[in-house]
Amino acid sequence: MRNPENVQSRISARDRADRLINQLTAGAAIAALGAVGVFGVVGASTIPGATTASTASTTTSTSTSSSSTSSGLQPAGGSVTSSSSSGVVVSGGSH
C-alpha cells in the first residue's frame, strides 16, 4: 500500500510543476513580445531601409508616366506605359 505522505508530496510536486509551467509559458510569451519590440528597434536603427512612400507620391504626380501603380513606389524613369499593378520596382532600399 502506498504511503499517504508520499502520495501527498507527489501531488504537491505536481501542482508546483503545473504552476511553474504556466508561469514560464506566460513569461516566455511576454519576453518574446518584448523581444519583438527590441529587435524591431535594433533592426530599424541598423538597417532602416528607404522611405519611398513620400518621394514616390510626389514623383508620380509630376512625371509623364501613365502607370497606374498605387503602391507608392517610385516608378522607373522615362515614359512608362505598363499598367502593372503590383508595383515591383526596386527603389534602392534594402527591403
Partner 1 sequence: MNDQLLWYTTRAAGAVSMIMLTGVVVLGVMSTLRATPRGLPRFFTPALHRNIALVTLVFLALHVVTAVVDPFTSLGWTAAVIPFSSYYRTFWLGLGTIAFELLLAITVTSLLRGLLGHGAWRAIHWLTYAAWPVAIVHGLGTGTDAWSPWLFTLTCLCVGAAAFVVVYRFTAGSTDPLAAQRASFRAGVDRRPDR
For partner 1, what does the binding mask look like between residues 6 and 45, x meaning CB under 8 A? ----x--xx-xx--xx--xx--xx--x--xxxxxxxxxx-
For residue 57, give the nearest of 47, 46, 67, 70 by alpha carbon: 70
Q: Closer to partner 1 at the Cβ: 35 or 79?
A: 35
- Residues whose CB falls within 8 Å of the CB of residue 65, separated by 6 or more in sequence, listed in order: 75, 79, 80
The yes or no reply on residue 87 touching partner 1 (CB under 8 A) is yes
Q: Closer to partner 1 at the Cβ: 20 or 79?
A: 20
The answer to whether the beta carbons of residues 68 and 87 sit under 8 Å apart is no
The answer to whether the beta carbons of residues 78 and 59 sit under 8 Å apart is no
Number of residues that bind partner 1 (CB under 8 A): 37
From the CB of 61, what's the least distance to partner 1, in Å?
Answer: 19
